[in-house]
Structure 1
Amino acid sequence: MAATGERLDKVVAQLFPQFSRARLLSWLQTGLVEIDGQALSDYSSKIKAKGGSRLTVTPMAAPETAAYVPAPLAPGMLNVIAADAAVIVLDKPAGLVVHPAAGNWQGTLLNGLLHAYPELAEIPRAGIVHRLDKETSGVMVVARTLTAQTELVRQLQARTVKREYRALVWGHVPAAGKITAPMGRDPRDRLKMAAFPATEAGAEPAPGTKTAVTHYQPLAYGLLCDTPVTWVACHLETGRTHQIRVHMQSQGWPLVGDPLYGKPLKTAQSATVVKVPAAMPFARQALHALHLQFIHPGEPHAEGTPPSAYTAPLASDLLTLLSQAGIQPC
């Protein structure tokens, strides 16, 4: 080996140009690069080798290669409410990721759908047309044909799909209201979303933000850890990432248990900002997709066609939480 004295990462990149530097670095860090059978992990170290030494790289498949592989889900994770030739309506449990992404390439709803319904491999995103956050439970719909997927996406874009959620929030929500704050990436933390000042009616949202509209209605009040909480119905006009969680936090009513948005903002619009207990009494955000209503994509769309409506009952952990707060579910 004529590379003695050079940095390991540089030599590996020169000898194996068919692989990206990022991929080679990950293999270095996991001990898949060897010189004469000795694993090397310090990519910045200098090569120390004698003439005739052998450098070996053992390629490892990238985790994302398993993203679209059919795989069965654990019992109780794929809960079908209704299914026909056009759609599958599911009750997604908390803890299940809907679509593969960094950090969650396997064990997702998509993997389970491909295993249970192999024909979904022919449809983009295995028929998924909308998502729920990993720790949000409740009802969602998956298309079984490309025609059905296209039609459901059109309904979502036209905002004719009705989505109703239930959330337990900190604080006293006094009356029904509507939040119209546009949403975009939080400039201080790119892993989070944020609400921005609402624009005038008809005006375009600021660059980097999108229109977001949430309607809310208080249903019941209780106490949790001696702190006021409100059981709220939320209706979505739009479907932005983390929309209910961000919008309710922006008003001073963060969701109970929310690990990202569980503290009230100092700029919250609420007249009084509740002090959230330091110890979270719930292991996830207290949010459930209760009702879903849409025009069935397998039916003729004559004017006046009644929509199909589906309900996912409240998850057992939420029922326990409501009981602790002295609230009857509704």
Structure 2
Amino acid sequence: MTSAQSSNTNLSETDFNLLEDSEDADNHTSETTATRLSLQVQLDPDYLGQRIDQVAATVWNEFSREKLKQWMKDGHLLVNGEVVKPKYRCEGNELLTLNVELEAQTTSQPENIPLDIVYEDQDILVINKPAGMVVHPGAGNPSGTLVNALLYHYPKAVELSRAGLVHRIDKDTSGLLVVAKNLEAQFSLSKQLADKSVYRIYDLVVYGNIIAGGTIDEQIKRHPVDRIKMAILPGGREAVTHYNVKERFQHFTRVQAQLETGRTHQIRVHFSYIGHGLVGDPVYMSRVRVPAGASERLGQTLRGFKRQALHASKLGLVHPRTQEEMMFEAPWPEDFTQLLEVLRQDNAAY
């Protein structure tokens, strides 16, 4: 079972942005049902001179620009109560109104896959994802994903882009994810991620001895040759990871990391870059390394640990409706716990 806590802890630490910033998302007013959506947003002078279709795609980034342009042409998206063309240039003080009947946003099918639900209300769903579960359907993974499970658990998620997901974690990373259950919650959570005001802590086990905590500030971009990998390269996107040492072993270190940004594989790339790759990482560690003198049990445990030792253990956010500061925790999964128990025993015997 997963523990969950809600508190008024000051969420001053920062997190990462996986969706584009929904500017002025906190100025939205809406009345929603399962299929009907009514939204308004008051623009400000920052939008002066910009095309209205570009502005709409910024403030309502859960929808594609082409979809919004079509709604303009059909009279569902009005500017100061009037139909305008997508190339209309903003004066910076317009009122945008969107009234539309939502359509299915995904062709993925619902599947009865159990979910470890940490918290749920009418607006959000917090899930403790197991290692091995893919978040989004894709090539090679058309089913069995978190999206398929969400569509079964909450059928109205079909009307939200990404079935309400506002961020993701890797297939073989376990831990906490927040999911929006309506568009207004999705706007709010996306804005919080963009503003880096969501608090997230990861636990990980790395090779080698890290002496003290610190910050890794290195740009990340797609590897130029191996397209499965990300890499530290000039011209990449900003990536900042803060970390603290929590437990030291003879040849390993348990670390807690906090993401200031949220790039693909960020923690795995950053720690590999500083020479402390994650135990079990099949992408950034070329082979399993069993230290000389390790016990037979530790060797077997390391060889049998088939995924990166990475767990999203804490998640803090502001509730989209109540504005309450909430904190959730998920305990380590069994394989992660067993790995640490073996490391502790091996360390004590040394």
Q: Same fold per TM (> 0.5)?
A: yes
1:49-90 CA distance string (max 9 Å, x none): xxxxxxxxxxxxxxxxx95111111xxx41100000110000
Matching residue of 2:333: 315
Pairing partner for 1:247 from 261, 264, 270: 270
Larger Rg: 1
Matching residue of 1:236: 259
Is the 1:222–1:327 Cα contact (8 Å) retained in structure 2?
Answer: no
Distance 2:124 2:181 in 1: 5
Pairing partner for 1:220 from 241, 247, 250: 247
1:164 aligned to 2:205?
no
Distance 2:319 2:131 in 1: 26
Is the 1:263–1:276 Cα contact (8 Å) retained in structure 2?
Answer: no
Q: Offset at 1:258?
A: 0.2
1:279-323 CA distance string (max 9 Å, x none): 7341110000000001111114xxxxx521101111011000000
Flag the 1:71–1:282 CA change in 2: closer, same or farther, 3 A: same
Structure 2: which 5+ residue stretches go unaligned? 1-105, 292-301
1:1-330 equivalences in 2 (<5 Å):
68-73=108-113, 77-196=114-233, 206=235, 209-223=236-250, 228-263=251-286, 276-277=289-290, 280-300=303-323, 307-326=325-344
Larger % of helix: which? 2
1:139-196 CA distance string (max 9 Å, x none): 1100001000011011101111111000000000111110110100011211110123
Distance 1:319 1:255 in 2: 15
Percent of aligned positions that are identical: 44
Q: Offset at 1:327?
A: 7.3
Distance 1:176 1:83 in 2: 35
Moved over 2 A (4+): 275-281
1:23-74 CA distance string (max 9 Å, x none): xxxxxxxxxxxxxxxxxxxxxxxxxxxxxxxxxxxxxxxxxxx95111111x
Q: Secondary structure at the match of 2:187?
A: helix
| TM-score normalised by length of structure 1 | 0.67
Distance 1:218 1:139 in 2: 21
Matching residue of 2:69: none
Q: Offset at 1:251?
A: 0.5
Q: Secondary structure at the match of 1:215?
A: strand
Structure 1: which 5+ residue stretches go unaligned? 1-65, 198-205, 265-274, 301-305
Distance 2:137 2:252 in 1: 34
| TM-score normalised by length of structure 2 | 0.63
Q: Secondary structure at the match of 1:255?
A: coil
Distance 2:107 2:343 in 1: 40
Distance 1:88 1:79 in 2: 10
Q: Offset at 1:263?
A: 4.7
Distance 1:298 1:215 in 2: 30
Distance 1:311 1:263 in 2: 32
Matching residue of 1:14: none
Distance 1:259 1:232 in 2: 19
Distance 1:213 1:85 in 2: 34
Q: Offset at 1:276?
A: 3.1
Distance 1:248 1:317 in 2: 21
Which amino acid counterpart does residue 329 of structure 2 have in structure 1? T
Q: Offset at 1:130?
A: 0.5
Distance 1:219 1:263 in 2: 26
Flag the 1:327–1:113 CA change in 2: closer, same or farther, 3 A: farther
